[in-house]
Amino acid sequence: MDFQFPVEFSEEATPEKCTSGSRTDVNVLDSMIANATCSSDSPSNPIYVQSETIHEENIESHHHLLEEQKGTLPATAIGRTSDDGYNWRKYGKKLIKGSEHPRSYYKCNHENCLVKKKIECAHDGQITEIIYKGTHNHP
Partner DNA sequence: AGCCTTTGACCAGCG
Partner DNA sequence: TCGCTGGTCAAAGGC
Report 24-83 residues binding DNA (CB under 7 A): 79-80
Q: How far is the CB of 128 from DNA (least distance, A)?
A: 14
Q: In this complex, which beta carbon is closest to DNA, that of residue 70 or of residue 93?
A: 93
**Window 98-137: contact mask with DNA (x via CB under 7 A):** xx---xxx---x------x-x-------------------
Give 56-62's long-range contacts (Cβ < 8 A, gap of 24+): 57/135, 57/136, 58/135, 58/136, 61/136, 62/22
Q: In this complex, which beta carbon is closest to DNA, that of residue 67 or of residue 114?
A: 114
Give the count of residues interacting with DNA (CB under 7 A): 20
What are the angstrom distances between the C-alpha of 119 and each of 8, 50, 133?
25, 12, 11
CB 89 within 8 A of CB 106: yes
Q: How far is the CB of 107 from DNA (least distance, A)?
A: 7
Q: How far is the CB of 136 from DNA (least distance, A)?
A: 16
**Window 84-103: contact mask with DNA (x via CB under 7 A):** ---xxxxxxxx-xxxx---x
d(CA 120, CA 96): 9
d(CA 103, CA 119): 6
d(CA 63, CA 45): 15
Chain residues that interact with DNA, rule: CB under 7 A:
79-80, 87-94, 96-99, 103-105, 109, 116, 118
